[in-house]
Structure 1
């Protein structure tokens, strides 16, 4: 369980910068909240794997 917690903390730390990068790359007007949520989910999956 300790390992899982550490992975979760790592994913959270990695998700924050990745989401900011996506926001910087994408224009000021986001297409939809679902897309940003999906990007965060994909970033978490990449970090977990």
Structure 2
């Protein structure tokens, strides 16, 4: 449905932002958090989205 498609689109955008921040560089304290976020978004997308 449209709501799920919108959620998937939003998660994909957030995942792209996290990946960009990981590529661009980050403070050491942010690294673990960014990698955790990336993993959570990837898990969500693989489970609920095409």
Return the structure number with greater helix share: 2
The normalised TM-score by structure 1 is 0.49
The normalised TM-score by structure 2 is 0.48
